[in-house]
Structure 1
Amino acid sequence: MTMTSHDLRSPLATIAAHLQMLHDDLGDQIAEDLAVMERAVLRMERLLDNLVGYARSEQSDLRTTTVSLAEVVADVTADRVTTANRARVTVDGTLPDVEADRELLRHVIDNLVGNAIKYTAPGTPARLRVSARTIGGEVHVEVADNGIGIPEADRPRVFDAFHRSANSAGYQGTGLGLAICRRIVERHGGRIGVTDAPTGGSLFWFTLPGPGGGTPR
């Protein structure tokens, strides 16, 4: 998959370089047309990134260990929350440790936080609340937001590859992010779902084994 990814990225890089040269040479004469083509290249790159992520979520070996969920959430928050987007992530209580592949767990948290920031009404800063509790030997994690929400009719398919909700028009996306999250969680022996959040947006939840538990695949 790494080789395939490189082979696909190479022509995209060539196109992007030539578009930049055209922009430098011709400037405003064809600026609008170039902008359209540049956006198309960026969309293709995002799709390729998601396809590679999907393949990795299916094929990569799980390297599970005891992971600090609090550290992963803090790491993602530091990357995702900026002065420009004015997002805010609040952690409720103490987040327990989990038994997980840290890199893949970070991908799940990053996707949920990134989606929450992206899928907000124009002019509305994202407000997220992350919480987790241990039930038996399982950790139940919740990420609630104040975004546009997911229509009830879309929820049964929202974790399917390439499915996009009816109200997501106008928001960039490939429809693969949540499918990747589901596969990662299921490989850890957990479950994932979504419901309404008290804040009016969505509440995504997933489960993972607590330290020393679980049967990853």
Structure 2
Amino acid sequence: MSYRPVARAAPRPGSVDVLVASLNDGDRMEPYKQLSSLTHELFRQVVEAAPNAMVMADRDGLIVLVNAQAERLFGYPRDELVGSSVDRLVPERLRGAHPDYRNMFYGNLSSRPMGTGRDLFALRKDGTEVPVEIGLNPVTTNEGIFVLAAIVDITERRRLEERFRQVVEAAPNAMVMVDQEGKIVLVNAQTENLFGYRRDQLFGKSIETLVPERFRTGHQVSRSAYLHDLKPRPMGMGRDLYGRRQDGMEFPVEIGLNPVRTSNENFVIAAIVDISERKRAEQELIRRTEELARSNQDLEQFAYVASHDLQEPLRAVAGPLQLLQRRYQGQLDARADEFIMHAVDGATRMQKLIDDLLSYSRVGRSGAIPQLTECADALDMALKSLSVVLHESGAQITRGALPSVMAIPTQIALLFQNLIGNAVKFRQADRAVCVDVVATREGDSWVISVKDNGIGIDAQYFDRIFMIFQRLHSRADYPGTGIGLALCKRIVEQHGGRIWVESEPGNGTTVFFTLHAGTEDRIPSQHNSGG
């Protein structure tokens, strides 16, 4: 097959047509005589339409072809580039080494990026330098081998990378970025401070350098698993993580992982926090909590034993005093009657205090196992125990539908007994006592409220009223030991719930508490109970 050029318009300088036309002259046309006109046209269109700058050079480094994007990038018209050395586009400081790189490429022809691992720069006509990324492709013909270079201006990418580096450098935590092989490619000053390495000592090293030796094998497995499921997440949840400093010292860390995706590769950036102080604080808190638990247990044991053992000698004192009062009332002088009255009153109050303290210390000590408990039945038990005071006060008790809960029945009855007893005790003098018991479901718990129309409580005392032995009124106005609401709080918390109050002085009080719902989610029918 012979090649016959056809008549066509004058070729544009620097285009494929120039390359073909120039090779028409003498032997240089030979490599292209085998190209069909269709192949030639396709090649011309592909190069010209490429989104990147395209420059083709021969083995001597002379430019034989450029496209429009190359004109825009370098600022030259193509007729100034064609026929000149490709070194013209290389900064002067780098030109000396460029021929050697070109010869190395011809020694191992293959399509590949140029200058991997090095910063590449190109020189514009106006003398400014621009960072570039270059892909080289050999083009083999009968005439020889040409090199087609695709050149990308990465100025904007470099700007973003620099901004990224600045953000990483300014981070308050140690930041380490690794590639898909686990090699460190970026660290910040906090990393140097935390691990004791200079950053040049870390670049290119495995991330396992910063992991204690006993964890390195497992870390490699975890790292590989994360690379197959890239998404932001904390590392090692539920496990204790440790870092290793250059001096070999280990320290506890908390790590957050974030993938960084680029067009060529995925990276992982790790934010690392030294939590040594937090761990020490946690250990101290655990120690203090354990000490407090032991102290509370000892205190509960003491209260139980003391209140139990005090009952007998107190009865030995209170009994004879009451006999003295009944037998000799009015037979001695008025001063003696007053002394005996004070002694009997003190002994009686002491007995009540010891009984309440014993009840308080028994909560949580009975060993009873929570069971499905009908709150309605527990309320009935409480009302039965309060029947006398309810009758005397004319109290009206209403209730909504009450649920089944997992609880200890006797303690729930005691809880209702104390709350309703308080409602009766702290009643308004000019109105009948009304108490309303209601339950509502919230998630896995029931919220039960006991609302009265009594004297109310000022908000500043809401926390104080649940403390043991705390009283807001004198014994003359409202008798009691100040243990009732503390006992209620203890019962509710022993059942894993919480208790709180809403009230205004003169407008009654509502006490709320929560209990876990039972396995049978049901509530009995609603009914009322009058006192």
Give TM-score, length-normalised by structure 2: 0.37
Q: Is the 8 A contact 1:150 1:167 kept in 2?
A: no
Counterpart among 347, 350, 357 of residue 51 in structure 1: 357
The one-letter amino acid of 2:405's match is V
**1:100 aligned to 2:407?**
yes
What does 1:44-193 correspond to in 2, within 5 Å?
44-82=350-388, 83-92=391-400, 94-122=401-429, 124-165=431-472, 170-193=477-500
Aligned to 1:208: 515
Q: Is the 8 A contact 1:104 1:184 kept in 2?
A: yes
Deviation string, structure 1 residues 96-141 (Cα, Å, up to 9, x no partner):
1111011111111111011111111335432100011222221110
Q: Is the 8 A contact 1:149 1:196 kept in 2?
A: yes
Q: Is the 8 A contact 2:307 2:358 kept in 1?
A: yes
Identity %: 33
Q: Which protein is bigger by CA-based radius of gyration?
A: 2
Counterpart among 285, 300, 312 of residue 10 in structure 1: 312
More relative contact order in 1 or in 2 (CA 8 Å, sep 6+)? 1
The one-letter amino acid of 2:386's match is R
The one-letter amino acid of 1:9's match is Q
Q: Which moved more, 1:136-145 or 1:20-29?
A: 20-29
Q: Is the 8 A contact 2:449 2:513 kept in 1?
A: yes
* Matches of 1:27 and 1:172, distance apart in 2: 24
Listed as ranges, the gaps of 5+ residues in structure 2 are 1-300, 521-531
The one-letter amino acid of 1:66's match is L
When residues 150 and 35 of structure 1 are mapped into structure 2, their CA distance, relative to the original with a 3 A threshold, is same
When residues 169 and 152 of structure 1 are mapped into structure 2, their CA distance, relative to the original with a 3 A threshold, is farther
Deviation string, structure 1 residues 39-74 (Cα, Å, up to 9, x no partner):
111110111112112211243324210111011112
Structure 1 position 184, deviation (Å): 1.3
The one-letter amino acid of 2:480's match is G
SS at match of 1:170: coil
Counterpart among 14, 21, 36 of residue 323 in structure 2: 21
Structure 1 position 4, deviation (Å): 3.7
Structure 1 position 159, deviation (Å): 0.9
SS at match of 1:128: strand
SS at match of 2:482: coil
When residues 127 and 61 of structure 1 are mapped into structure 2, their CA distance, relative to the original with a 3 A threshold, is same
* Matches of 1:109 and 1:182, distance apart in 2: 12
Structure 1 position 88, deviation (Å): 1.4
When residues 114 and 168 of structure 1 are mapped into structure 2, their CA distance, relative to the original with a 3 A threshold, is same
Aligned to 1:195: 502
The one-letter amino acid of 2:325's match is H
* Matches of 1:166 and 1:183, distance apart in 2: 22
Q: CA RMSD in A?
A: 2.3
Structure 1 position 14, deviation (Å): 1.2
What does 1:27-46 correspond to in 2, within 5 Å?
27-28=329-330, 29=332, 30-46=336-352
The one-letter amino acid of 1:59's match is R
* Matches of 1:71 and 1:189, distance apart in 2: 21
